[in-house]
Amino acid sequence: MPRPDPALLDPARYPFRCEIEPRFSDLDLNHHINNVAIAGMLEDGRVRFYRAAGGHDAFRGLSTMVASISIEYLGETHYPETLVIHGATEHLGRTSQQLVQVVTQKGEPVVFARTVIVMVGAEGPAPLPDDYRARAAEWALRP
């Protein structure tokens, strides 16, 4: 799989950031942070992103489901250095949205992820709430 567009690796384009401290138990045999641990940290970053973007309140009565996720490992990640997860909405559909994340360690991009998330109600896919859409531009990937 080709590397992502270098413009997507610029943390300045992302309106959200959070820091995550890796645990010693996140290491693999090569003393890198394990791929499964990275996936969990990306999930934690998405949850924090939605809380900051007002999704926690806007999504009441709905569920969110990850429809797809792609993770590009761009470099080695090490313990105990902090990981910084940057997030932005890349695209809003009627019932889904696409979130992009770049993870940096010591200022260098080490992971890029793109996730499609679908809103689900009692009857299946549900439209993104209007109040969430109204705030979406604030959390969009910057030019």
pLDDT tens digits, one per residue of 95-139: 999 999 999 999 999 999 999 999 999 999 999 999 999 999 999
CB atoms under 10 Å from CB of 70, counted, come to 11
Please list the alpha-helical segments (H only) found in the chain.
35-52, 55-58, 130-135
Q: Give φ, ψ of 78 to 5 degrees.
A: -130, 150
Strands (E), 1-143: 16-20, 63-73, 83-92, 96-105, 108-121, 124-125
pLDDT tens-digit map of 18-75: 999 999 999 988 889 999 999 999 999 999 999 999 988 888 889 999 999 999 999 9
Banded pLDDT at 1 (limits 50, 70, 90): low
* pLDDT in the model for residue 23: 94
* pLDDT in the model for residue 33: 96
The answer, yes or no, to whether residue 3 has pLDDT greater than 90, is no
* pLDDT in the model for residue 56: 82
Using alpha carbons only, how large is the chain's radius of gyration in Å? 15
* pLDDT in the model for residue 58: 87
Based on the number of CB atoms within 10 Å of its own CB, is 60 exposed (0-12), middle (13-18) or buried (19 or more)?
A: exposed
Copy the structure tokens of residue 135: 């705030």
Cβ(139)–Cβ(16) below 8 Å: yes
DSSP code of 38? H
- Domains of the chain, each with CATH number or no CATH: 6-134 (3.10.129.10)
